[in-house]
């Protein structure tokens, strides 16, 4: 002799839990990828750093193809520029 459970045998509390469980799981599955950090994008995203002090101005640009550094000393008037890679498309 086998006993078979039917939805009506589960009771109102189980129906409510069962009914709400699937939409909640679906919502969690849809929201979860938005919390994931895209490491590939972080590697390819250009980075820019500008630093201005009393007698010194420094500018650095870095992306996967180009590294550009500009350094200017207000006091002495000296400028240093270092460029590595293909910086043709970089706007600096």
- CA–CA distance, 57 with 82 (Å, rounded to integer): 14
Pick the closest to residue 60 from 44, 80, 41 (CA basis). Answer: 80
Q: What is the pTM of this model?
A: 0.51
Q: What would the pLDDT profile of 30-89 be if each residue is shown by its tens digit?
A: 666 555 555 655 667 888 899 998 889 999 999 888 899 999 999 999 999 999 998 887
**Is the separation of the CB atoms in 74 and 57 below 8 Å?**
yes
């Amino acid at each position: 002799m086998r006993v078979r459970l039917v939805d009506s045998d589960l009771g109102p509390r189980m129906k409510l839990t069962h009914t709400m469980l699937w939409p909640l799981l679906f919502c969690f599955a849809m929201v979860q990828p938005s919390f994931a950090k895209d490491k590939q994008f972080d590697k390819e995203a250009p980075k820019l750093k500008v630093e201005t002090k009393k007698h010194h101005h420094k500018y650095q640009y870095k992306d996967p193809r180009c590294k550009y550094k500009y350094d200017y000393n207000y006091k002495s008037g000296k400028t240093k520029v270092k460029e590595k890679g293909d910086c043709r498309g970089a706007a600096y």
